[in-house]
A and B are shown apart, each in its own frame.
Chain A
Amino acid sequence: MASVHESLYFNPMMTNGVVHANVFGIKDWVTPYKIAVLVLLNEMGRTGEGAVSLMERRRLNQLLLPLLQGPDITLSKLYKLIEESCPQLANSVQIRIKLMAEGELKDMEQFFDDLSDSFSGTEPEVHKTSVVGLFLRHMILAYSKLSFSQVFKLYTALQQYFQNGEKKTVEDADMELTSGEEGERKMEKEELDVSVREEEVSCSGPLSQKQAEYFLSQQASLLKNDETKALTPASLQKELNNLLKFNPDFAEAHYLSYLNNLRVQDVFSSTHSLLHYFDRLILTGAESKSNGEEGYGRSLRYAALNLAALHCRFGHYQQAELALQEAIRIAQESNDHVCLQHCLSWLYVLGQKRSDSYVLLEHSVKKAVHFGLPYLASLGIQSLVQQRAFAGKTANKLMDALKDSDLLHWKHSLSELIDISIAQKTAIWRLYGRSTMALQQAQMLLSMNSLESVSVGVQQNNTESFAVALCHLAELHAEQGCFAAASEVLKHLKERFPPNSQHAQLWMLCDQKIQFDRAMNDGKYHLADSLVTGITALNSIEGVYRKAVVLQAQNQMSEAHRLLQKLLLHCQKLKNTEMVISVLLSVAELYWRSSSPTIALPVLLQALALSKEYRLQYLASETVLNLAFAQLILGIPEQALSLLHMAIEPILADGAILDKGRAMFLVAKCQVASAASYDPLKKAEALEAAIENLNEAKNYFAKVDCKERIRDVVYFQARLYHTLGKTQERNRCAMLFRQLQQELPSHGVPLINHL
């Protein structure tokens, strides 16, 4: 490494201990590739015979911008690009370069002398301030600044460049000749490999400052919006190292390296890069005249803030808090309200676990609006909405708030926040158990044209909001028994967010949950059990809950009970109401499974109260189902039936297929139970109705492949047919039951004790 930096010291432009990154004050300089582009421009400007047609000119103009901005490419590649747009021009460019490279130094000198002609005349071909004009002038300026030896060096470089382009094909044969010995070949091969790879990666030589800036901004925006399209972490890092090797003062590269390290979850290197970036930035900040000392202090504040964000990202909350305190202190000392605003938002993020954190958030939103920070303000509103949703505020208020912030987004075209907002709506609708609305919102996000994507390309942005919406979509489909569709969505997710990318955890969890549910429906408890570890790794609370569910299904009641009690306490502490209700339901199920439905009742009532309070409709109807079942066991089927009538509507409207089936099954059971006291005619009628309901339930169960439940239904139907004296139907059902019974060994749970 040492040799890399040796040149660093020979810096004539060191003033006040600060080495200026840009010694010569030019952002660009002449390279052989640039000369080739200049030749191309020159040829394009030629009029008279052999002039380019209008169509070709249009294609060439499209080609020009990337050529001017992009990194240097080899001559053969350049020829190919030009050829695609205009073959005859490629030919003439080739000839011109050949003449120049095989001629003398004076040819190149002459070429540059002639360049400025394109500006002269009454009607110049190139306008001075156009993109091309600026490029030309940059080049002329850079060329005239070259010293005597540099001009010659440039010329030899041009010759080299030309020869490399020519020799491309001959190279392989050449290789064979030189590699006589073992070690030799290895070395050559290594070098060749490296160069080939670098070529693939877009640039092989040093980039000029302009090119480097373009490269960095491009990669950074890709990292943010569409990670899969950016360079892989390893190759990007290699590029950055390369860049830093050529110019250690190029601070922005350190920042990109920080982002890149975040991708691979490397705490150590990312901290290192981040601090390095800010150490460097402090200098450039002090350098720039516009903000002077102010700029310097500013970068310090943001350095601390970014450090906090980094630690937060890696889950080091205590560290993050310390860094944040530091940022707040410095910002306060220098009265930087904008920075303080950012700090406040982060403070909320860190303090989310606390109950009073929403106060912070409210302040943050108000202040942000005051200081005219729309992004921060609506981010605050969104967080507030999320927080309030968990706290059980009514949907209309939340939606109103989101609508208001949406207005803000559209006004300021904050496309990222628009996406988040829609994803959030999806989540909120799901939380409230309105699957249709959720589905609609998710679809809306996916089929909407993002504001940015219009300019960047056809591909939509791969941001977190999309991942969230897609996950919801997958889960919603799975709930409705459309497993093929769900797995299709998941497959898409996998492609869009590869397993090692930032948001991959979302779909991983989603995938495992769906698999778990299917395994449970199928009665393959061992399979479900094996999935629990995976779920726990991604979300510990969910994992513990699922573990308890599996234990319960395997009849390990005491074990399950212990786990659930622990989880209950934990979730109550965290105020995770959704999970609390789910746990309460499981506990209740445990009770009535162990034949003590009376104890289950208060638990269920508690769950019902909670879910009503927080407006979790899905969980509320689930609770009502349980309650009705408990009543059925307690021998008051009439009550149960009236209770069910209350719950059945939302379930059928929005519930999962499995729940629909369970509800219908329960209705049928209740009908039969309450029919016991009826007179025979009415009884037969009731039983007929029950059979109908059972059929419906069976259909639902069949959709989600829940054989165990189908078996129960069939058994029940057979008994009913028997009572009604319909032998044929009875026998059919009995046969079905027998088939299923052989397939699935019974776990010895009495039939009736199953919701």
Chain B
Amino acid sequence: MATNTSVVPVAVPATVVPVLSTNGDFSDLREIKKQLLLIAGLTRERGLLHSSKWSAELAFSLPALPLAELQPPPPITEEDAQDMDAYTLAKAYFDVKEYDRAAHFLHGCKSKKAYFLYMYSRYLSGEKKKDDETVDSLGPLEKGQVKNEALRELRVELSKKHQARELDGFGLYLYGVVLRKLDLVKEAIDVFVEATHVLPLHWGAWLELCNLITDKEMLKFLSLPDSWMKEFFLAHIYTELQLIEEALQKYQNLIDVGFSKSSYIVSQIAVAYHNIRDIDKALSIFNELRKQDPYRIENMDTFSNLLYVRSMKSELSYLAHNLCEIDKYRVETCCVIGNYYSLRSQHEKAALYFQRALKLNPRYLGAWTLMGHEYMEMKNTSAAIQAYRHAIEVNKRDYRAWYGLGQTYEILKMPFHCLYYYRRAHQLRPNDSRMLVALGECYEKLNQLVEAKKCYWRAYAVGDVEKMALVKLAKLHEQLTESEQAAQCYIKYIQDIYSCGEIVEHLEESTAFRYLAQYYFKCKLWDEASTCAQKCCAFNDSGKRT
């Protein structure tokens, strides 16, 4: 509540760190590079490893600075000097994950840096204890009740500081994290926005904001600082919100201004292509990325998904072995191996690896869904349903889990149940033809042909991936003896196939030509009929009837 008022763009106090003020354009890449290097150092000092990594990666993609341009480290203030010893000791403890010890020695420190580390250690200590205790809780029903006990105290202290406007960008970030952990989403968003105003360079704050924003409308009403970091943020959140076109546009812009070497951006683009099912493009980008950064493990699960879809066994096997050598106890590695086994139809092993992924990182959402798929393959429908339900409980917006549930019930021959699940999936991905085709099939099974027709037509209209919607629509029309529409659909289907120029064998092509031949024959358009019939002859299986 109180934070609301302070969200108005604040001019960053110039005295703190002069170089931290950023502007909205990319005209001065050198300046940006300087800022990135600086923030990488600052975040490292505070133990914010991921942000530090991100900044450093991005800085690496920009050309190196000459010696003269290099920024001297920020001057040490009186307060810093006082806390220097305590800070050095505590940082060492912090780095070896002895958080309580670190916090103990930092108690009473005045400088901003030491204070942040103090609070951050306390927070991490609480989180660690929480994770440890979950295994050791009193009973099954108490499982969910294990809380990070430190959160409440942290919140009280931080909110006092916040009221007094004594928090710097990092402090605000931590305050936001604490609020989010306490499920106070609205307050957390306000605080994170404030943090981005005060310290736009800190990627962690932007990333947290990303996780809290659930739709486009929310994004519109945020007042974000006019910084070049905002572009990265927008591109990222567009990817998250499945607004792929906009995201790709943003990333292209970033590449154009000079970030072409950034592996972060390249991987994000690849993920975006993956999300819109542009498999070839995504694959080529990932291959490029692997060349640039061969020991990268992040996003490799997405890569393996692509290889899986294309059934590229040898490549997937190579990737799996490679990753396993780098680090076999990473979630991504487990996922890749799971995908590999799945492709080899060793579904039990695949499920095992997905379970391992979940044990390594309980917050890794995709594994539940993938595990569900494996159980589906093993025809263990009940376990599949369980896995999908878990996925949904974790993330209601996981359309693959909803879709998977639908498929499970389809196997169980319960089309009416499927409808509900496919509908949910469709709601989440309104422009995905697969859900629409699945919905159409269900309606067809339930003999609701009007709805089925609508679904197929819509699937075609949004751009059919599998190119089956039109054939199905045509067959429906055929069934309803609406020969005119059926012929139209077949014609469109054939045009579609020829225009995209794929050589992939389409089973239904012959059916289409045969129907068209018959149709033209009936309409007494002999020439067309004969052309179609001749085309028909090119196929093996079309001679069944004339």
Contacts and interface: CB of A to CB of B under 8 A. Distances in A.
A153 B139 CA distance: 12
A416 interface: no
Interface stretch (A12-20, A255-263, A370-378): A12-20
A206 B371 contact: no
A323 interface: yes
A6 B416 contact: no
Contacts of B383: 16-18, 283
Nearest to B387: A17
A7 B1 contact: no
A618 to B, nearest CB: 44
Contact of B389 (A23, A181, A280, A296): A280
A209 B135 CA distance: 18
Nearest to B421: A275
Contacts of A30: 138
Given A2-B394, A247-B141, A300 B414 contact: yes
Interface string B376-398: 00001111111101100111000
Nearest to A151: B138
B228 interface: no
A303 B408 CA distance: 14
Nearest to A210: B141
A21 interface: yes
A30 B138 CA distance: 8
Contact of B136 (A14, A18, A150, A212): A150
B382 A146 contact: no
Contact of A6 (B142, B163, B363): B363
Candidate in A6, A9, A150 with the most chain B CB atoms within 10 angstroms: A9
A246 B140 CA distance: 8
B414 A17 contact: no
Contacts of A247: 140-141, 143-144
B183 interface: yes
Interface string A257-289: 000000000000001000110011011011000
Nearest to A181: B163
Given A154-B138, A282-B382, A304 B417 contact: yes
A279 B358 contact: no
A246 B142 contact: yes
A142 B139 CA distance: 9
Interface stretch (A93-101, A182-190, A547-555, A593-601): A182-190
Contacts of A250: 141
Nearest to B384: A17
Interface in B137-192: 137-146, 155-156, 159-160, 163, 181, 183
B417 A7 contact: no
A28 B1 CA distance: 42
B145 A206 contact: yes
B380 A17 contact: yes
B144 A4 contact: yes
A24 interface: yes
A54 B159 CA distance: 58
A196 interface: no
A9 B413 contact: no
Given A300-B414, A329-B413, A10 B139 contact: no
B143 A246 contact: yes
A187 B1 CA distance: 10
B200 interface: no
Given A9-B358, A247-B144, A276-B389, A208 B134 contact: no
B401 to A, nearest CB: 11
Contacts of B225: none
A18 B382 contact: yes
A124 B412 CA distance: 56
B195 interface: no
Contacts of A3: 181, 183
Nearest to A30: B138
A484 interface: no
Interface in A176-217: 181-184, 186-187, 205-209, 212
A248 B131 CA distance: 18
Interface residues of A, number: 70
B16 interface: no
B394 A296 contact: no
Interface residues of B, number: 55
A303 B417 contact: yes
B405 interface: yes
Contacts of B355: 14, 17
Given A24-B140, A303-B417, A183 B134 contact: no
Contacts of B375: 17
B351 interface: yes
A112 to B, nearest CB: 15
B416 A19 contact: no
A207 B144 CA distance: 12
Contacts of B233: none
A187 B178 CA distance: 14
A116 to B, nearest CB: 21
A7 B414 CA distance: 33
A307 B138 CA distance: 37
A5 interface: yes
Contacts of A286: 382
Given A8-B394, A12-B135, A209 B144 contact: no
A21 B140 contact: yes
Interface in A1-55: 1-10, 12, 14, 16-19, 21-24, 26, 28-31
Contacts of A290: none
Contacts of A207: 141
Interface string B415-438: 111001100000000000000000
A105 to B, nearest CB: 16
Contact of B414 (A184, A276, A326): A326
Candidate in A22, A182, A322 with the most chain B CB atoms within 10 angstroms: A322
A9 B359 contact: yes
A452 B440 CA distance: 49
Contacts of B390: 8, 19
Contacts of A319: 416
B326 to A, nearest CB: 24
A557 B387 CA distance: 67
A147 to B, nearest CB: 6
Contact of B145 (A246, A275, A280): A246
Nearest to A301: B414
A149 interface: yes
Contacts of B92: none
A275 B1 CA distance: 38
B463 interface: no
B504 interface: no
A158 to B, nearest CB: 12
Given A17-B375, A186-B1, A8 B362 contact: yes
Contact of A19 (B362, B386, B420): B386
B2 interface: yes
B462 interface: no
Contacts of A325: 416, 446
Contacts of B384: 17
A323 B384 CA distance: 22
A10 B141 contact: no
A275 B420 contact: yes
A717 to B, nearest CB: 68
Contacts of A329: 413
A8 B358 CA distance: 10
Contacts of B139: 24, 26, 28-29, 142, 208
Interface of B: 1-2, 131, 134-146, 155-156, 159-160, 163, 181, 183, 351, 355, 358-359, 362-363, 371, 375, 380-387, 389-390, 393-395, 405, 412-417, 420-421, 446, 448
25 contacts: A1-B183, A3-B183, A5-B394, A7-B146, A8-B144, A10-B131, A10-B362, A17-B387, A18-B382, A18-B386, A19-B390, A29-B139, A142-B139, A150-B137, A181-B159, A182-B2, A183-B2, A206-B141, A246-B143, A280-B389, A282-B385, A283-B382, A286-B382, A304-B414, A304-B416
Per CB-CB distance, the 6 closest pairs between chain A and chain B, nearest first, are: A9-B362, A29-B139, A17-B383, A286-B382, A246-B144, A7-B134
